[in-house]
Amino acid sequence: MNMHGARKDLLAGALFVVFGLAFAITSSTYEVGSALRMGPGYFPLVLGSVLVLLGILIAVKGFVAGDTGELGPVPWKAAVLIVTALLFFGFTVRGLGMVPSLLVTVFLTAMAGRNARVIPAAVVAASLTALSILIFVIVLQLRLPYFGPWLQG
């Protein structure tokens, strides 16, 4: 049996079990009720248990069947940069305003590309920020301040 190949299904199964358990355990703290008068906990408790069961089945099936292919490469750098970029935008868009916040967000994202370099990424950031202002603020008239209170102290 190829343990490496079976990993994908085992991991998928485990992930579903974790989610199912989390939902089932949390919903048992709500009022479950009966089939006639279902409480808020009833539906998620049943579904959470079903998900645990499905997760176990997927893992077992993966273990028995073995080969399900390689996991392949994971773009760690890109994942970290993109998540950071999104969090940065959420965290600063109100305080810094749309322009500085978006510039940094797009720059970080552009750096996530393979073989990305600083200057082209900065150019992409500047042009996309300008384009976004044109589309969202000028054409669609969304009321997003260019600069926020943090910069006007």
Partner 1 sequence: MEILDNLGLGFETAFTPINLLFAFIGVALGTAVGVLPGIGPTATIAMLLPITFGFEPVTSLIMLAGIYYGAQYGGSTTAILINLPGESSAAVTALDGHQMARQGRAGPALATAALGSFFAGTVGTLALALFAVPISEAALLFGSPEYFSLVVLGLIASIALASGSVLKALAMIVLGLLLGTVGQDLVSGTPRFTFGLRELYSGLNFVSLAVGLFGVAEILRNLEGDITRSVMVQKVKNLWLTKDDFRRIRGPVLRGTGLGTALGVLPGAGHVLASFVSYSVEKRVSKKPQEFGRGAIEGVAAPESANNAAAQTQFVPLLTLGLPVSPIMALLLGAFIIQGIVPGPNVIDEEPELVWGLIASMWIGNFFLVLLNLPLIGLWVKMLTIPYRVLFPAIIAFASIGTYSIALNEFHVYAIAFFGILGYVLIKLGNEPAPLLLGFVLGPLLEEYLRRALIISDGDPSVFVTRPISLVLLLLAAAAFIIAVLPTVRRKREVVFEEED
Q: At what angle do helices 118-132 and 98-110 cross, to 10 degrees?
A: 140
Nearest approach in angstroms of CB 141 to partner 1 is 8
State which of positions 121-140 bind partner 1 (CB under 8 A): 124-125, 128-129, 131-132, 135-136, 140
Rounded least distance, CB 39 to partner 1, Å: 7
Site string for partner 1, 52-71 (x = CB under 8 A): --xx-xx--x------xx-x
Bridge partners (DSSP) listed for residue 124: none
When asked if residue 120 is in the footprint of partner 1 (CB under 8 A), the reply is yes
Work out which of 1, 50, 126, 151 binds partner 1, going by CB under 8 A.
50
* HEC per residue, the chain: CCHHHHHHHHHHHHHHHHHHHHHHHHHCCCCCECCCCECCCHHHHHHHHHHHHHHHHHHHHHHHHCCCCCCCCCCHHHHHHHHHHHHHHHHHHHHHCHHHHHHHHHHHHHCCCCCCCHHHHHHHHHHHHHHHHHHHHHHCCCCCCCCCHHHCC
1 versus 26: smaller Cβ distance to partner 1: 26
List 85, 96, 99, 104, residue binding partner 1 (CB under 8 A):
85
The verdict on 25 binding partner 1 (CB under 8 A) reads no
* 104 is a site residue for partner 1 (CB under 8 A): no
When asked if residue 96 is in the footprint of partner 1 (CB under 8 A), the reply is no
Q: Note whether 40 binds partner 1 by CB under 8 A.
A: yes
Task: Compute the least distance from the CB of residue 152 to partner 1, in Å.
Answer: 18
